[in-house]
Structure 1
Amino acid sequence: MRIKQNSLKTLIVLVIPISFLFFFFFIPLINIFALAFGILDEGTIFTLSPLLDVLTHPLNRYFLIWDIQQALLTTFLCLLIGIPGSYILAHYKFPFRNTIRNLLTIPFILPPIVVLMGFISVFGHGSLINNFWKDLTGFRLIDIYNTNEGIILAHIFYNIPVIIRITEIGWRNVNPELIAVAKSLKASNWRIFRKIQFPQLFPILAAASLLVFIYSFNSFAIVLVLGGVKFQTLEVRIFDYFWARFDYNAAAALTMIQLFINTLVIFLYLYFSNKYEIPTERLAWKIENSLFHRPINLKSVLRTIFVGLYFAFVGIICVLPIVGVFFASFTSSDNAFTLLNYSKLLDRDISTFIGLPPHSMIANSLLFGLGVILIAPILALLLNYGLNYETTNKGRPKITLFRSFSGIIVILPLTVSSITLAFSLFSIYRDTPVYENIAIVIIIAQTLIAFPFANRIIAATRSNIDQTIINVARSLGVSRLGAFFKIELPLLLPGIVIAGLFSFAISIGEFGATYFLSKTNFATIPVGIYRLVATRNIGPAAAFASLLVIITVGSFMIIERVGKVDFRI
């Protein structure tokens, strides 16, 4: 009887997050399936025609193959460039080591539209580097528009920090005692790497590579601007079929192909994460500060020069574009210092180019961000509480079929891209009262994007709580709910705050779903930046982007102050 009561209470707690996912994620996604297989067409029960049509279209095949190729090439180049940096940061002490580590994190936490803006300001037409190189040699260093090289370089800029930061944790987590024993037995460095280090590094290398692949494969803003009609990811292609051709069935069919690839990659990532227990930052810190493994000083001049040149090269790729955003925001067309770009954001005439005054876009971004802060962490908290309500005698959550199924449900939103998410919401709710207030739909879409991250942060925070405290409280007669409010909730508070701030940062920088769904009156800062870039108003776009950099970096600085939480995407 008690077991049934506990199961009923679990179901009551879970009804809100599960219902939210059911109505705003699974039902819309099922509708996309129906569109892809012609089920919604009059007189058709089931057909493979939409899927076969898009697969046999030469352009679609070309873009699909190119999308996979550029994602693989980006991943390979990021590994090639990033692994030496992660090794250096993990094994050597040198001036500004922590500063370099923090600077390398910034590109990844920035919204893709800001990454694009920084890349254009440094390597675009009329940029400082291209102008300097043209004066020196008579031609541009690189043409980033409508070129494969420009897109891949932009993706490398965005994804190198993923490789460096994640694999650095892997290097620091390699068991130093095994290496010490191998060296005492006169094993060569190559044999130590092959037999000891690489087997321990492989899971985290695989996971980091899969993340870079999925980010590059689903790239939208970067390819939308730089690719033109010559290069398109499936994400851009779906958007094109929907808004330019109004071919919903073909767009849905392409979505199915993308969803299949995304699901395969995400579950491979989770396989490596869970089966091989990828190390956390906290565990790596403990090992780094152990007796057997401490970073050593750079001893030789040659090694010092190599490290300096390496981080100078990485800095040009990763840090210079961020500096370029601020530089372009204070620079006029003749490369003179100016505040005109910022003053234009206060001028109503700029709305001619972006459809809405900038202050209204800022207000929309903050409004949507506030909505996501209020919803995503609460849904994640309810889900974690419900899934962990029933515990064993040792205080561990009971592994039930329902709990395992719910865990899979939570992971699935990670497999869906922002454009697919927006497409699914639009296709099912466009003729309903839900869609009458587009702001609510945008908040729902952004919440679905932020929710898996918020859930992982809170789940990781909860895993660090000593369950003995809760068990003692329960043995003294405190109810499960009472133990939650008096013990768990205060201990979870840092994780909840971080989940909220992380959700806010995702919301305020989200571009794909918001651009797909937003009407003129509900455009946000990223949409405004895109419209300014599209109309070649680079200075005001840089000024707008610098504001987004300050907000995003500020959010993550607060996260660092609140406290680090070990979580993985």
Structure 2
Amino acid sequence: MASSRLRLSWPLAALVPAGFLGLFFVWPVIAIASLGFADGGVSTVLADPATWRLVAYTVAQAVGSTIVALLAGTPVAFLLARCSVPGSSVVRLIVLVPFVLPTVVVGVAFRTIWPHGGIWPILLANAFFNVAVVARTVGGMWARVDRRMEDAARALGAGRLRTFFAVTLPVLAPAFISAGSVVFLFCSTSFGVVLILGGSAFRTLETEIYLRTVALFDLSGAAALSLLQVSAVLCVLLVGLAARRKRESWFSLRAQHLRRPRGGEWWAVGAAWIVVLALLVPIVSLLVRSLSTSTGWSLDGFRALAGTGERGTLAVSGMDALFNSIRTATDATILAFILGTFSAVVLLGLARNKSVLGGVLDTALMLPLGVSAVTVGFGYLVTLGHLPGDLRTSSSLVPLAQALIVTPLIIRMVLPVLRAVDDRLRQAAATLGAKPGRVLWEIDFPIVGRTLVAAGGFGFAVALGEFGATSFLIRPEAPTLPVIIARLMSRPGQLNNQMAYAACVLLMVVTAASVLLIERFRAPNGGDF
């Protein structure tokens, strides 16, 4: 009877994350989609050849960015997973920083190198973001692949390349597919990078939805494009889920000891360091531009941002915007941390009971990562006025939208670590009379505690730089720093540019502090990122 009650309790517990997702994601998205059908926007948009050119470009740039990220991330994954060389911890830190940098910061950083933007800066900027996804996801599995299979192939006369393609790559294929699907998802929904580097010449579905909603007020057309995007995202998520399940089946393999590279392995190590140095170029370029003007080195941008010098065109000081960003990101992180941790525990319980609901819920919770933030933001304005208190005018609106994006990332960090906990420890505690709640508190949480702290820091960094939904929902009197940066970059004048660069540097410093926290508390084999 007790076992039956436990099996029933997990589906009931799943109602909590499912309810949050339904209220703050599914309902707004369906409301937007219904607008497209009601006004005939879907049929009009689908019949327009320009729509399919837009889809083709979106897919092409996402595929190109994904290929670049996979090529750049593979040698880094090898270095982190297999090699014991000086500076490995520095590599891990440098690779993670770009992933949590705000999209507008990365867009501005690449714009300092390519002032006129273009397709190549967009591809490289998207890949710049996602090298960490490849390095962490592929590297996490590569570290568990038994070297004896490779040594046997080498003993039979296979060279290093043939051994990699014939032995190692088939084992790593699920990790590559999982990483590639996530990278493709991020690149196909990239907003800030394409907006800053592409302008009106290079538009994707994401920026077109924003343009139709904010500038053209073509709500039915934007809704129709959102429907296309949601359909594509769902397909990619299903592919990623299948690959992730197969990859997680290898977690029981024992982690291999790191060793000094041998022979041709040094070429892979050298390639990894070249990638790391390339990742530093946009960051260093942005730092230099924040301090240089047409008349020489200057701190005018930082002074103006702090409100102690000429104010430029800002209605609020940059420091006020930073405090708004920190406050909003903190609220979003607290909500996402509670919901994400609870969801990870529920997904673990459903998996133990071999419930089909677990896979459905897992996929559903990942959907917010791939749906236009503008779609969700506009959906909030359409739907949330029907709730008591009218959340559309509440200061909690932006944290809710940010938490929706951060929660899936926290789940992806916490869930694999929970699954890796030796189930015999839980069984021993249950045999001694501990109830499920106490087993979680006494066994699971002490083991995954470091990952929980890292997940919180990671979530804060992502929320701090969120731009898509925030730019649409933020109140004019309380802008966040990413919104201020985008406004400054759209205005002429050297001081406005200097203030934008200074604001980017300020965001990078805060983000770097979050990354240091992540690395300080990161579990040795925890999570995808």
Pair 427,358 (structure 1): closer, same or farther in 2 beyond 3 Å: same
Structure 1 residue 34: deviation in Å? Answer: 1.4
CA separation in 2, counterparts of 1:367 and 1:202?
A: 41
Who is 1:54 aligned against?
Answer: 45
Who is 1:549 aligned against?
Answer: 508
- TM-score when normalising by structure 1: 0.83
CA separation in 2, counterparts of 1:388 and 1:172?
A: 23
Structure 1 residue 24: deviation in Å? Answer: 0.9
Query: What SS does the aligned partner of 2:526 have?
Result: coil
Who is 1:105 aligned against?
Answer: 96
Task: Summarize the alignment of residues 5-404 of structure 1 with structure 2, pairs less than 5 Å apart.
Answer: 5-6=5-6, 9-10=9-10, 13-38=13-38, 49-84=40-75, 86-87=77-78, 95-121=86-112, 123-125=113-115, 144-145=116-117, 147-169=118-140, 171-277=142-248, 286-289=255-258, 294-296=259-261, 310=271, 314-315=275-276, 317-334=278-295, 336-347=296-307, 353-388=313-348, 397-404=352-359
Pair 181,400 (structure 1): closer, same or farther in 2 beyond 3 Å: closer
Task: Kindly provide the CA deviation profile for residues 192-217 of structure 1, in whole angstroms up to 9, marking residues without a partner as x.
Answer: 33421231232222333223322221
Whether contact under 8 Å (2:344, 2:411) holds in the other structure is yes
Task: Kindly provide the CA deviation profile for residues 487-536 of structure 1, in whole angstroms up to 9, marking residues without a partner as x.
Answer: 44444433332222222111111111100111212311111111122225
Whether contact under 8 Å (1:345, 1:358) holds in the other structure is yes
CA separation in 2, counterparts of 1:372 and 1:273?
A: 27
Who is 1:514 aligned against?
Answer: 470
Structure 1 residue 171: deviation in Å? Answer: 4.9
Q: Which moved more, 1:433-442 or 1:319-328?
A: 433-442
Structure 1 residue 8: deviation in Å? Answer: 6.0
Name the amino acid aligned to 1:407. D
The runs of 5 or more residues in structure 2 that have no matched partner are none
Structure 1 residue 398: deviation in Å? Answer: 1.3
Whether contact under 8 Å (1:330, 1:337) holds in the other structure is yes
Whether contact under 8 Å (2:28, 2:379) holds in the other structure is yes
Task: Kindly provide the CA deviation profile for residues 299-343 of structure 1, in whole angstroms up to 9, marking residues without a partner as x.
Answer: 89xx77x966x5675356311111222222222233x22222211
CA separation in 1, counterparts of 2:237 and 2:282?
A: 29
Task: Kindly provide the CA deviation profile for residues 34-71 of structure 1, in whole angstroms up to 9, marking residues without a partner as x.
Answer: 12221xx5xxxxxxx32221123343332221111112
CA separation in 1, counterparts of 2:161 and 2:522?
A: 39
Structure 1 residue 283: deviation in Å? Answer: 6.3
CA separation in 2, counterparts of 1:491 and 1:194?
A: 36
Structure 1 residue 11: deviation in Å? Answer: 5.6
Q: Does 1:420 align with 2:391?
A: no
Match of 1:531 among 483, 487, 493: 487
Whether contact under 8 Å (1:36, 1:249) holds in the other structure is yes
CA separation in 2, counterparts of 1:459 and 1:209?
A: 20
Query: What SS does the aligned partner of 1:439 have?
Result: coil
CA separation in 2, counterparts of 1:84 and 1:467?
A: 34
Pair 486,29 (structure 1): closer, same or farther in 2 beyond 3 Å: same
Name the amino acid aligned to 1:360. D
The runs of 5 or more residues in structure 1 that have no matched partner are 42-48, 126-143, 391-395
Whether contact under 8 Å (2:96, 2:515) holds in the other structure is no
Structure 1 residue 231: deviation in Å? Answer: 0.9
Structure 1 residue 186: deviation in Å? Answer: 2.4
Structure 1 residue 482: deviation in Å? Answer: 3.5
Whether contact under 8 Å (2:210, 2:374) holds in the other structure is yes
Q: Which moved more, 1:449-458 or 1:506-515?
A: 449-458
Structure 1 residue 468: deviation in Å? Answer: 3.0
- TM-score when normalising by structure 2: 0.88
Whether contact under 8 Å (1:92, 1:296) holds in the other structure is yes
Query: What SS does the aligned partner of 2:352 have?
Result: coil
Who is 1:141 aligned against?
Answer: none
Q: Which has the higher contact order (CA 8 A, sep 6+)?
A: 2
Whether contact under 8 Å (2:326, 2:464) holds in the other structure is yes
Query: What SS does the aligned partner of 1:521 have?
Result: coil
Q: Which moved more, 1:183-192 or 1:418-427?
A: 183-192
Whether contact under 8 Å (1:94, 1:298) holds in the other structure is no
Whether contact under 8 Å (1:510, 1:526) holds in the other structure is yes
CA separation in 2, counterparts of 1:100 and 1:479?
A: 43
Task: Kindly provide the CA deviation profile for residues 146-192 of structure 1, in whole angstroms up to 9, marking residues without a partner as x.
Answer: x2223223223333444445444555544321222222222344543
CA separation in 2, counterparts of 1:372 and 1:460?
A: 23
Whether contact under 8 Å (2:136, 2:528) holds in the other structure is no
Pair 199,22 (structure 1): closer, same or farther in 2 beyond 3 Å: same
CA separation in 2, counterparts of 1:179 and 1:8?
A: 45
Who is 1:134 aligned against?
Answer: none
Who is 1:443 aligned against?
Answer: 399
Structure 1 residue 419: deviation in Å? Answer: 2.5
Percent identity of paired positions between Structure 1 and Structure 2: 28
Name the amino acid aligned to 2:106. V
Query: What SS does the aligned partner of 2:293 have?
Result: coil
Count residues with an aligned counterpart: 524
CA separation in 1, counterparts of 2:185 and 2:18?
A: 26
CA separation in 1, counterparts of 2:421 and 2:500?
A: 45
CA-based RMSD: 3.1
Larger Rg belongs to: 1
